[in-house]
Copies of this chain bind each other. A is one copy, B any other.
Amino acid sequence: MRLYEYEAKNLFRRYNIPVLDSILVDNSSFNELDKVAYPVVVKAQVFLGGRGKAGFVQFAQNRKEAEKKVANMLGKKHGSFTIEKVLVERRIEIDRELYVSAAIDRLKHEPLMIASQKGGVEIEVVARKDPSAILKYYFKIGAKLPDFQARNIASDLGFTGAAMSVCADIVLRVFTLFVHLECKLVEINPLVVAHDGRIIALDAKVDLDEDAMFRHHELKEMGIVARHEIGELTKRERVAKAKGIPYVDLDGDIGVFPGGAGFGIAAIDLIQHYGGKPANFMDSGGAPTQEKLRAMLGLLIDNPRVKAIFGARFGGISRCDDWAKAVVQYVIENKPKKPMIMRMAGNMEEAGRKILEQAKQEHQELFKNIKIYAYDTPIEEVIKETIRIAKTQRDAGN
C-alpha cells in the first residue's frame, strides 16, 4: 500500500531521516502558506509517477506565486487522480542527487538495499544503461543491518569523513523503518547533498504490506489505514470498499459474480474471448459470508449498465450450499429482473442444488430468468449463453 509523499515524510521524521520542513495545503488551508520560507517547491500529492513531467511539481518565488500555483493544481486530474493536497517545501540548492532504497527482490525472494550515486528522475534509465552504477546489498530477513554495512553503503555513495557517518546513519534508519514497519519499499530518490552540506531526503516513497498492518498500531495513530489507492473510486467502488469487497468497475455489460479467489480474472478473460464485455472485476475472497455474497450480487443488480449476470461457484472453502442460500435469499428479498446465468460445482454441490430446486419450485416467477448449471456443463457454454442473453437484453432495450 503506497503512501503519499507527505505521509512517507511523516514516517521519515519519526525515524529521524532528515527531510525538509514542509506544509500540506488543501482547499481549506491556504493560510498555511504564511508559514513557509520562500522560494518554494509545490508538489501535488498523488500516487502516480510522472507528476513532474505532467507539470505538477512547480517552483514559486513568493507567497502570491505559490498561492496561484497551489490553487491551479488543486482539483486537477493526474491520470485518474484528483489532486486534493499539495506539499509545499522550501526550495534548496543542491550539489548532488543520490538514490537509496530498501526493497524486496522478488526474483531472489530476498530483501536488499539499493544505492546509486546517480539518483534523480532518470534512475530507471541508469539501471538499464549503466547497471554497474546501481549497487545492491542483500540482507537476511530478521537480521540487523550491521553498522559497518551502512558505512560501506555511505562510502560507496561517495561520502568520506564526517559526512560518511551522517549518511551511514540515514542508511541505517531507512533499513530500520523498512524492517520495523515490514515495508515492501522505502525509497529516497533523490537523496540530496544540499549546497550547505546537509544530506536530505528530498522525496520519500513508502509502500506498506497491508497484510502486516495489524501489527503496527502506530500507523493508525498517524492516520495511515488500509485503503484503495489507485485512482479515484467510482460510487460503486466506494460502496464495495465499505463492505470489504475488492471491486473495480469496467465498461461492459456483463456483471461478473465470481466464486473462488482468483477466478475473477480468468472469468474476465473468457468473457472477452467469446466476444462479451465484462462490467466489473470482483473477488469474493476466501470464504465470503452470506451477507457479503448478497452484497456482491446487489452491486451488479443495481448497476444499470449490467444487462446480464454471469456467476460461477467452484465450491472449495466457500461451499456451494452457502452460495445457493445467499442467491435464493437475495432473489426472494429483492426480486431482481435481470437474467442471471450461473454455474455451481464443487464442495456441497448436491446440497446447493437442492436448495435452488426447492426455491425454484416455491417461487417460480422470481426464478424464471435464473439458470444455474452444474458440474457437467462446461463453463464456456455458460459464458456463451450469458453473452447471448446480454445481447438479447441490449437489443430489447432493457
Residues of A within 8 A of B (CB): 142-144
On chain B, the residues within 8 Å of A143 by CB distance are 142
On chain B, the residues within 8 Å of A142 by CB distance are 143-144
User: Please, how many angstroms separate the alpha-carbon atoms of A144 and B143 in the complex?
Assistant: 10
Question: Closest Cβ of chain B: how far from A150's Cβ, in Å?
Answer: 17
User: Please, how many angstroms separate the alpha-carbon atoms of A74 and B378 in the complex?
Assistant: 89
On chain B, the residues within 8 Å of A144 by CB distance are 142
User: Please, how many angstroms separate the alpha-carbon atoms of A143 and B144 in the complex?
Assistant: 10
User: Please, how many angstroms separate the alpha-carbon atoms of A144 and B144 in the complex?
Assistant: 12
Question: Closest Cβ of chain B: how far from A182's Cβ, in Å?
Answer: 15
| A143 nearest in chain B by CB position | B142
User: Please, how many angstroms separate the alpha-carbon atoms of A397 and B378 in the complex?
Assistant: 116
User: Please, how many angstroms separate the alpha-carbon atoms of A101 and B124 in the complex?
Assistant: 53
User: Please, how many angstroms separate the alpha-carbon atoms of A144 and B141 in the complex?
Assistant: 12
Question: Closest Cβ of chain B: how far from A130's Cβ, in Å?
Answer: 37
Question: Closest Cβ of chain B: how far from A147's Cβ, in Å?
Answer: 14
The 2 closest A-B pairs by CB, nearest first: A142-B143, A142-B144
Question: Closest Cβ of chain B: how far from A148's Cβ, in Å?
Answer: 16
User: Please, how many angstroms separate the alpha-carbon atoms of A142 and B144 in the complex?
Assistant: 9
| A144 nearest in chain B by CB position | B142
Question: Closest Cβ of chain B: how far from A116's Cβ, in Å?
Answer: 30
Question: Closest Cβ of chain B: how far from A343's Cβ, in Å?
Answer: 42
Question: Closest Cβ of chain B: how far from A180's Cβ, in Å?
Answer: 14
User: Please, how many angstroms separate the alpha-carbon atoms of A83 and B231 in the complex?
Assistant: 73
User: Please, how many angstroms separate the alpha-carbon atoms of A142 and B142 in the complex?
Assistant: 9
Question: Closest Cβ of chain B: how far from A215's Cβ, in Å?
Answer: 14
User: Please, how many angstroms separate the alpha-carbon atoms of A199 and B143 in the complex?
Assistant: 33
User: Please, how many angstroms separate the alpha-carbon atoms of A255 and B286 in the complex?
Assistant: 81
Question: Closest Cβ of chain B: how far from A118's Cβ, in Å?
Answer: 35
User: Please, how many angstroms separate the alpha-carbon atoms of A143 and B143 in the complex?
Assistant: 8
User: Please, how many angstroms separate the alpha-carbon atoms of A368 and B6 in the complex?
Assistant: 79
Question: Closest Cβ of chain B: how far from A379's Cβ, in Å?
Answer: 42
User: Please, how many angstroms separate the alpha-carbon atoms of A62 and B150 in the complex?
Assistant: 62
Question: Closest Cβ of chain B: how far from A139's Cβ, in Å?
Answer: 13
User: Please, how many angstroms separate the alpha-carbon atoms of A184 and B142 in the complex?
Assistant: 23
Question: Closest Cβ of chain B: how far from A175's Cβ, in Å?
Answer: 16
2 A-B pairs whose Cβ atoms sit less than 8 Å apart in the complex: A142-B143, A142-B144
Question: Closest Cβ of chain B: how far from A179's Cβ, in Å?
Answer: 13
User: Please, how many angstroms separate the alpha-carbon atoms of A262 and B144 in the complex?
Assistant: 35
Question: Closest Cβ of chain B: how far from A322's Cβ, in Å?
Answer: 32
Question: Closest Cβ of chain B: how far from A284's Cβ, in Å?
Answer: 32
User: Please, how many angstroms separate the alpha-carbon atoms of A211 and B142 in the complex?
Assistant: 25
